[in-house]
């Protein structure tokens, strides 16, 4: 099976499995797990923050970040195509009493600066207090686009001018840094807090990190406990995370090359609508426009040929490249799709 549904499908490497088995561990709720401390220190160093906190998932990392920045009734500005808004079960409002205010994302995942500024509430007895801006980098539902350090800097300046904080949902932050050929710190310096995932392209089995200043991480640690994310001998997981951070970042550029290659091949097939210029990291989106095959049929035909992709809207598909998809398999996928659409069902 060639599975392009998500980069979360990556299995831990043999080196990770060995490191997990042999990790030195302790009880992390007592802050006594040496391997976990090592991972948190490395995450803080990479993102240029004072402190970091290991969490079981990106969703929990974003939730406790919002909880640690906001009080009940505060308002958060975020994109209408952001993961936090679309795919995290409304956690900020359900669990935090925090009010999300969505602004339309541009195609490249940015939020228009003038619109953000306009949306900041004045002090008025009728209004919630605007407290936080959430950005996403890379932006999953905007073609996996990386936001530039220049854009992040102008948003940071705006936030500072109005006394707001910035949380960065950097589930695929390292993809952004690799695509832009910069250190992640060049992006994270413009955010007060950042969450990134070890369990996507970086191939660790479990885990994300939240990074920020010492006070923020102290509040986040307490909020993590509150939502049930305090873990005991979690150093077994951190051991894989250390390998993810140390050894798996460089190779993300292969995924980006493979995404570019697949996009180029698919764009040339009649019946597929795909804008190659939008493909900048490991995610590609395309539309199917075929007289005889609808979206569901397309998925079935692909599965019968041992290929899985994700349909995100009727007739709209997402394919994500990752460590377990080789260049040869990219060729196979392109040839298979060509053969279905052009030869078998023309």
Contact residues: ligand PLP, CB under 6 A: 57-59, 62, 83, 136, 140, 169, 171, 197, 199, 208
Q: Which CB, 53 or 120, lies closer to ligand PLP? A: 53
d(CA 58, CA 297): 32
d(CA 254, CA 98): 39
* CB of 184 vs ligand PLP, minimal distance in Å: 15
98: nearest Cα among 119, 80, 77: 77
Q: Please return the burial class of 114, using the count of CB atoms within 10 Å of its CB with bins 0-12, 13-18 and 19+.
A: exposed
* CB of 61 vs ligand PLP, minimal distance in Å: 7
DSSP letters spanning 140-186:
TTTTTBPPPHHHHHHHHHHHHHTT-EEEEEETTHHHHHHHHTS-THH
* CB of 59 vs ligand PLP, minimal distance in Å: 3
Structural contact between residues 18 and 227, judged by C-beta atoms closer than 8 angstroms: no
Query: For ligand PLP, which residue has the nearest CB?
Result: 58
Q: Which CB, 171 or 269, lies closer to ligand PLP? A: 171
Q: Which CB, 61 or 260, lies closer to ligand PLP? A: 61
Q: Which CB, 130 or 208, lies closer to ligand PLP? A: 208
Q: Which residues pair with 196 in a beta bridge?
A: 170, 209
Q: Which CB, 135 or 334, lies closer to ligand PLP? A: 135
* CB of 335 vs ligand PLP, minimal distance in Å: 29
At 327, list the tokens: 């260049």
* CB of 57 vs ligand PLP, minimal distance in Å: 4
């Amino acid at each position: 099976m060639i599975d392009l549904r998500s980069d979360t499908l990556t299995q831990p490497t043999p080196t990770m499995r060995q490191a997990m088995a042999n990790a030195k561990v302790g009880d992390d709720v007592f802050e006594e797990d040496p391997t976990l401390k090592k991972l948190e220190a490395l995450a803080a160093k990479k993102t240029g923050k004072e402190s970091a906190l290991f969490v079981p998932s990106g969703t929990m990392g974003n939730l406790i970040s919002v909880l640690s920045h906001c009080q009940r009734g505060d308002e958060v500005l975020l994109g209408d195509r952001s993961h936090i808004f679309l795919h995290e079960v409304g956690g900020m409002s359900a669990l935090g009493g925090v009010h999300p205010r969505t602004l339309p994302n541009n195609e490249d995942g940015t939020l228009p600066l003038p619109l953000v500024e306009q949306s900041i509430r004045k002090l008025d007895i009728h209004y919630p207090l605007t407290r936080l801006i959430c950005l996403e980098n890379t932006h999953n539902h905007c073609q996996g686009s990386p936001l530039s350090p220049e854009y992040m800097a102008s948003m940071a300046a705006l936030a500072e001018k109005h006394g707001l904080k910035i949380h960065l949902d950097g589930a695929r932050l390292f993809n952004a840094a690799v695509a832009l050929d910069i250190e992640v710190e060049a992006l994270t310096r413009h955010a007060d807090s950042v969450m990134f995932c070890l369990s996507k392209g970086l191939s660790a089995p479990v885990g994300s990190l939240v990074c920020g200043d010492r006070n923020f991480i102290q509040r986040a640690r307490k909020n993590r406990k509150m939502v049930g994310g305090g873990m005991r001998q979690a150093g077994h997981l951190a051991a894989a995370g250390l390998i993810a951070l140390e050894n798996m970042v460089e190779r993300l550029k292969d995924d980006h090359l493979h995404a570019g290659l697949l996009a180029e091949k698919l764009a040339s097939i009649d019946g597929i609508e795909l804008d190659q210029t939008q493909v900048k990291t490991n995610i590609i989106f395309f539309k199917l426009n075929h007289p005889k095959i609808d979206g569901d049929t397309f998925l079935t035909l692909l599965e019968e040929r041992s290929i899985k992709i994700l349909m995100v809207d009727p007739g709209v598909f997402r394919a994500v490249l990752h460590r377990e998809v080789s260049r040869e398999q990219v060729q196979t996928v392109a040839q298979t799709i060509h053969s279905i659409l052009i030869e078998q069902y023309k």
